[in-house]
Chains A and B, each alone.
Chain A
Amino acid sequence: SQQGEEDPQALSIQEGENATMNCSYKTSINNLQWYRQNSGRGLVHLILIRSNEREKHSGRLRVTLDTSKKSSSLLITASRAADTASYFCATDPNTGGFKTIFGAGTRLFVKA
């Protein structure tokens, strides 16, 4: 199974509501990243949180990391229709080599 697994698989909310997506992983990591993918497009990097950080903010995005639970969450506040996309977590396992492992993603649909 994959290192990073997002939950829920799909999420539908009204514009203005907050959206929370979760990511769980199995092995210890150096960092965790969140990416966004609009339909039929490439991924766009949103935020990176290091293993020694607990929370990070970027505009309407808030990311938390709990290394004891091997989990992270992405919160999008005051969502907009333009936030409709798939969101992926990507982990950089602390295995001594290079590898970034992407989860299967959460599909977010924001209704106007």
Chain B
Amino acid sequence: DGGITQSPKYLFRKEGQNVTLSCEQNLNHDAMYWYRQDPGQGLRLIYYSQIVNDFQKGDIAEGYSVSREKKESFPLTVTSAQKNPTAFYLCASSIQTGHNQPQHFGDGTRLSIL
């Protein structure tokens, strides 16, 4: 079955540590996204990528970095510069960016601080 796989499901970060969240899709989608979800809030866009080797900052990119070296993969690194990283992180993809494009989501990674 096609879909999006996020790993790990749970992740703990120590102070000053960078951690990387994995996102892989086999839907052959061009566009991929990273969102952050805090309790009782909607999703906020961290980064998105319209095509391989290209990515753009979203609304809350500070303290995060991404790469898009392969169409299937869009890893997110939470750096030590992100002072409040505890949240639920969701990766999504769509056929393309732009209007009228439903997004398909992974099941998320919950990041906590040790």
Which size class do A's interface residues fall under?
A: 20 to 34
Please name the residue on chain B nearest to A10 by beta carbon. B40
User: Quick check: is B100 within 8 A (CB to CB) of the other chain?
Assistant: yes
The 4 closest A-B pairs by CB, nearest first: A42-B105, A102-B42, A45-B102, A102-B43
A positions within 8 Å CB-CB of B: 2, 4, 30-31, 33, 40-45, 48, 50, 88, 92, 98-105
Q: How far is the CB of B25 from chain A (nearest CB, A)?
A: 12
Within 8 A of A (CB), among B1-42: 4, 6, 35, 40-42
Residues of B within 8 A of A103 (CB): 42
A42 touches B97 (CB 8 A): no
B positions within 8 Å CB-CB of A: 4, 6, 35, 40-43, 45, 48, 50, 90, 92, 97-100, 102-108, 110
B102 touches A48 (CB 8 A): yes
Given the complex of chains A and B, what is the CA–CA distance between A104 and B37 in angstroms? 9
A42 touches B106 (CB 8 A): yes
Given the complex of chains A and B, what is the CA–CA distance between A80 and B40 in angstroms? 23
A45 touches B104 (CB 8 A): yes
Q: How far is the CB of B104 from chain A (nearest CB, A)?
A: 7
Please name the residue on chain A nearest to B106 by beta carbon. A42
Please name the residue on chain B nearest to A44 by beta carbon. B105
